[in-house]
Amino acid sequence: MSKHVGQGSEELAAVAEEALRHLAWLRSAGVAEVPEPVLPPPSSSVEPAPPRAIRAEPLPAPAASPAAPSTGAYSLTGKGCGSPSLLAIRRDLGECTRCKLAGGRTHVVFGVGNPRAELMFVGEGPGADEDAQGEPFVGKAGQLLTRMIEAMGFRREDVYIANVVKCRPPGNRNPEPDEIEACEPFLRQQIAAISPKVIVALGKFAAQTLLRDPTPITKLRGRWSSYGGVKLMPTFHPAYLLRSPEEKKKAWEDLQLVMKELGRLAPRR
């Protein structure tokens, strides 16, 4: 008898832990109150408690998870899934094996930021730091991108950031056509779910993928284009700007055009 009771307690503990994770995600999605589910008791002799309303706000933030295995395991409370539509896309992506990049990744790098952002940045693909942390643009190029975002008068959490491919190409090589083809549908779904006012395409792969235009980024940048009815501004990738700091002035000119489109004045320095 005690063995069966112990198993029942373990099952209830697992259910409770999953419920806490789900409530934490609901809180991040803006849901203030949900009905408490009535769980079946371990024994038919115990009457279930009547349903009552529970509020998501007081729940503590989920504890940090241990490092994910090489399969790139993800959580439904993970980065970039702050709306039901984005969560559905992340579930569909799953532990993706649609191209050969899956074999060498640590994490699938889905995206990060405000799920209702008016401004979205799209890069090429994750590097070593991004692969390790599961978040786009967190290395040196990401630190520069954060400064660019702040110079525009935004916070990083105000915008949404994603990449064309969600897994790191080995050795940070350029993504290959079949890899872009496998991953691009998820980027397009992300853009549709967020519905930004402006997209900034960072570098040639992002610009050429979204615009279906092989024109070099040096000629694409600084000129408005359109993607699915959304205004799109191509500019240099932050990694390129780190290698060629003399081009930062041109990138800032591009971002000023974006600020003007969004009705924002450049902050005083």
User: Which domain, by its residues, includes 9?
Assistant: 2-42
Does 31 share its domain with 154?
Answer: no
Does 128 share its domain with 241?
Answer: yes
The answer, yes or no, to whether residue 261 has pLDDT greater than 50, is yes
Does 140 share its domain with 218?
Answer: yes
pLDDT category, 55, cuts 50, 70, 90?
very low
Residues 247-265, buried b or exposed e (16+ Cβ, 10 A)?
Answer: eeebbeebbebbbeebeee
**Which region among 79-83, 177-181, 200-204 has the lowest average model confidence (pLDDT)?**
79-83
In a domain, residue 77? The reply is no
pLDDT given for residue 43 in this prediction: 43
Residue 177's CATH number:
3.40.470.10
CA–CA separation, 215 vs 199, rounded Å? 18
Does 243 share its domain with 139?
Answer: yes
Does 245 share its domain with 153?
Answer: yes
**Number of compact structural domains in the chain:** 2
In a domain, residue 27? The reply is yes
CA–CA separation, 4 vs 101, rounded Å? 45
Name the pTM for this structure: 0.71
The answer, yes or no, to whether residue 44 has pLDDT greater than 70, is no
In a domain, residue 128? The reply is yes
In a domain, residue 88? The reply is no
Does 36 share its domain with 163?
Answer: no
In a domain, residue 56? The reply is no
